[in-house]
Structure 1
Amino acid sequence: MIFRSKDRRLKWLILLIPTLTIGLWEYIRHTFLLPYLSMDLGNFLAPFIVLVVTLTVVRGLFGRLEQSQQALQREKESNASLEERERLARELHDGISQSLFLLAVKLDQLDEQVVEGPVKPLAEGLRETVRVMHEDVRQAIANLKQPPSPAEAAWVAPMRELLGETAGIAEATAEFNWSIPEGSLTDKEKIELHACVREAIINVRKHAKASRVFVNGEKEGENGFRCTVEDDGVGFAADPLQAQGRFGLRIVRDRAQAMGWTFVAERRGSRTVVELRKLDKEGVYAR
């Protein structure tokens, strides 16, 4: 609402200033300059005066109007993103989270009825799996309700902290190298890149059994970037995007494709690498 009111004032000023300039010039000319300027010279100077005012004052107003429009567009994008995250959080809570809770209750009942036999360890394993999944869903809901801020300190720092937590849990060493300029990414790109890196790190924590984990982010070209999450863990037994019951890397791939980024998950020597890349404006990778 504030942006719209400001835009209306700027538009009226842009429309009125040339007219007011001509009116003021004519008043000054006829009141003070008529003995010194001929009518023809005054008429000749009028369009140049309007041009000078347009190139200075009106041009500045156009710049402010453009900035206001960009700020309004960013606000709309941010609000749309927040609404979508809130919707996803509600769906996770009302759907998957509740179903996992009921499944955990039923597994507890099964565990109480089975005293011994091969079903006992199977039930305990299933219960632990459901517990971990339920915690993951609850964490996802919490993250959706508290989206990362576009500010660098608020969206890069959580990735560094999560990497440190992952290294602590896995008793691994971690390296975090980040040189992507904060101003080179849009707010939406920051949110999506944060989500992708976070999912890749969690995937390492769950499955890699790594002793070293690396997160690297670097700028490529004028508008591009390259971001990798690497580890020296067990790697992929097969195509990770086809593995049953594993959705982390598929989520990363889908997010990357939706943003127009490239996605690669592969084994490179002794390391498993998940790579996200954005092309620069020429459509080629920087070298």
Structure 2
Amino acid sequence: MKDNKIKWLILAIPTLTIGLWEYIRHAFLLPYMSMELGNMLAPFIVLAVTLTLVRSLFSRLEHSQKALQREKASNAALEERERLARELHDGISQSLFLLAVKLDQLDKIAPEGQVRQLGAGLRETVRVIHEDVRQAIANLRLPPYPADAAWVVPLRQLLGDTADVTEAEAEFNWNIPEGSLTDKEKVELHACVREALINVRKHARAAKVYVLGEADGSGGFRCAVEDDGLGFIGDPLQRPGRFGLRMVKDRAERMGWGFSLERRGDRTVAEWVKRGGQAG
């Protein structure tokens, strides 16, 4: 039922109720009921009808208005995502392309020696950043997922993208209940898993990649990104250029989660743990 029709019914029902009551009273009840009693009963009859029919109509109207507000918010979010995607493409992406062109010019000027080695390293950095920007643009132009899957489905997609790029097998095993995490925890955990998967894609050369999410039954969880790739030597958090991993560690510490990055058998495991009863 359309909103306008609901509004007209809300306005008309009390009037129709009084009219119908007066007709029934005068046509059938007048010999058995005095005018004073009929007048006294009229507001109670209107109140009873209002509490049943009109209240139900108000509820439907409120539900319709909320649905309209959600649709407007969704459209506004889509427009904002598209605007951000355009800015990334027209700004950062184009600047990276120009930087790559200038690096090619540098190779022609200094074809040998340390300058060429430095240029090769910069070119690889530009390539990786450009790939990340393109992925960000693609993600922004995807429609947002429904609220009940707004953070789990993108994690599965990230794993699939990583597997496609690295030609690895992927396994996604997730049983953390949707309602057990706060919105902030979902945002932070998504960012951590994303950075770990990007690290696998860039460095691991893995044949298998796993994303695991397990609830502990008391409000906590264990989340892990595992791969059977090359692994690492020493502490990867202290290696130059690993800013992303250090940011992941900082995010986990701010949330009060345990974080570890270590080699376990033939797997490299990045793991986040929230103890049950711990505030999010």
Q: Summarize deviations over 1:109-148 as a string: whole Å, max 9, x none.
A: 1123333222223212211221121122122112212233
Secondary structure of the 2:270 match is strand
Q: CA deviation at 1:43?
A: 3.0
Contact 1:174–1:212, Cα closer than 8 Å, also in 2: yes
Q: State how 1:257-276 maps to structure 2 within 5 Å.
A: 262=255, 264=257, 266-267=259-260, 271-274=269-272
Pairing partner for 2:130 from 128, 131, 134: 134
Q: CA deviation at 1:102?
A: 0.4
Q: Summarize deviations over 1:207-253 as a string: whole Å, max 9, x none.
A: 567765323275988xx89683433655964489xx86745885998
Pairing partner for 2:59 from 42, 46, 63: 63
Q: State how 1:64-83 maps to structure 2 within 5 Å.
A: 64-83=60-79
Pair member with larger Rg: 2
Greater Cα shift, 108-117 or 157-166:
157-166
Pairing partner for 2:107 from 105, 108, 111: 111
State the identity %.
59
Aligned residues: 265
Change (3 A) 1:205 1:116: same
* Amino acid in structure 2 at the alignment position of 1:272: A
1:14 aligns with 2:10: yes
Q: Distance between the aligned counterparts of 1:31 and 1:142, measured in 2?
A: 72
Q: Distance between the aligned counterparts of 2:216 and 2:8, measured in 1?
A: 42
Residue 231 of structure 1 aligns with which residue? Answer: 226
* Amino acid in structure 2 at the alignment position of 1:230: V
Residue 213 of structure 1 aligns with which residue? Answer: 210
Greater Cα shift, 90-99 or 29-38:
29-38
Q: CA deviation at 1:85?
A: 0.8
* Amino acid in structure 1 at the alignment position of 2:79: E
Greater Cα shift, 62-71 or 167-176:
167-176
Q: Distance between the aligned counterparts of 2:56 and 2:250, measured in 1?
A: 43
Q: Summarize deviations over 1:32-68 as a string: whole Å, max 9, x none.
A: 3222333243234323322331222112112111211
Q: Summarize deviations over 1:158-212 as a string: whole Å, max 9, x none.
A: 5324314424655766442234667x59xx99x9689645455324433567765
Listed as ranges, the gaps of 5+ residues in structure 2 are none
Output the TM-score relative to the length of structure 2. 0.71
Q: State how 1:177-196 maps to structure 2 within 5 Å.
A: 177-179=173-175, 196=191
Contact 2:151–2:190, Cα closer than 8 Å, also in 1: no
Change (3 A) 1:82 1:160: same
Greater Cα shift, 100-109 or 61-70:
61-70
Change (3 A) 1:172 1:138: closer
Residue 23 of structure 1 aligns with which residue? Answer: 19
Change (3 A) 1:138 1:284: closer
Change (3 A) 1:25 1:90: same
Greater Cα shift, 209-218 or 90-99:
209-218
Change (3 A) 1:44 1:227: farther
Q: CA deviation at 1:73?
A: 1.9
Change (3 A) 1:246 1:207: farther
Change (3 A) 1:155 1:245: closer
Secondary structure of the 1:272 match is strand
Greater Cα shift, 50-59 or 39-48:
39-48
Q: State how 1:95-110 maps to structure 2 within 5 Å.
A: 95-110=91-106
Q: CA deviation at 1:265?
A: 7.1
Change (3 A) 1:121 1:79: same
Q: State how 1:31-70 maps to structure 2 within 5 Å.
A: 31-70=27-66
